[in-house]
Structure formats: structure tokens, C-alpha cells
Amino acid sequence: MSYVDGFVIAVPTANKQAMIDHAKHFDPFFLEYGATRVLECWGDDVPRGKQTDFYRAVAAKEDETVVFSWVEWPSKAIRDDAMAKMMADPRMDPSNPANQAMPFDGARMIFGGFSAVLELKA
């Protein structure tokens, strides 16, 4: 079964296009290194909870929208290898000015890797 990296971030609503442009720049690296799919999703029906919710998870402010993204990999081994290669790739170097203009606060991003346990297809 596949392996999935999931991400939730709070993006200033005014930065929607900048976030899309950022993703268009960086997301192809995932595919280049073996991912089978990358999806970036702009929140438009994200309910606020009574105990917890996506907004609280990323300390979203009133002028921010929750973005949910994931990267699908054929396996965890391929993902682990790809992540090591991406971190060594000079195109990903954080000292590069082009890589410093993040359209969101990366410190409030939550992420994790998940092993698929069930997959249903139409």
C-alpha cells in the first residue's frame, strides 16, 4: 500500500495566489523524486469545533485560511529516500533567496507521515 505525507497550514487569505505559486515551484520536486501525486487543497468548508479543529491545530488567525495538502508515495522506503535526496538538492537550499519567501508561517505547519491501512476506489 502507499504512504502519505500530510500537511496542514494556515495561509493568510490574501496570499492564496502566492501559496499556489509556491506550491507550483516546490511540489514538482516530490514528483521528480518518486511521489505519485501531490494535492494542495484550499479550505472552503472547514467547520470550527468545540474542542479542537483545523484552525486551532495551526493557530489560524481570522484573516487566514486552512490549507490541507498531501503527497502520495508508492512506499515509505521510496519516501524516505526521496526526502533525503530533496534535503541534499541544492535547489531546495533554504539560503537561496527564492526559497525564503514562504507565503505562510512554516512554524505553525503540522505534518506527518502515514501508512495506508485501507484504500477504496470507485
> What's the confidence (pLDDT) of residue 118?
93
d(CA 12, CA 61) in angstroms, rounded, equals: 8
The model's pTM is: 0.90
CATH numbers and ranges of domains, the chain: 13-115 (3.30.70.100)
pLDDT along the chain (122 residues), means of 10: 95 97 94 98 96 97 98 97 93 75 90 94 91
Those residues whose C-beta lies under 8 Å from the C-beta of residue 119, and which sit 6 or more positions away, are 1, 2
Those residues whose C-beta lies under 8 Å from the C-beta of residue 82, and which sit 6 or more positions away, are 30, 33, 34, 35, 73
Radius of gyration, CA atoms only, the chain: 15
> What's the confidence (pLDDT) of residue 81?
97
> What's the confidence (pLDDT) of residue 96?
76
Q: Which residues pair with 7 in a beta bridge?
A: 69, 111
d(CA 34, CA 75) in angstroms, rounded, equals: 10
Q: What DSSP character marks residue 10?
A: E
Cα→Cα distances 42→31, 63, 65, 87, Å = 20, 14, 7, 26
Inter-residue contact 64 to 11 (CB < 8 Å): yes
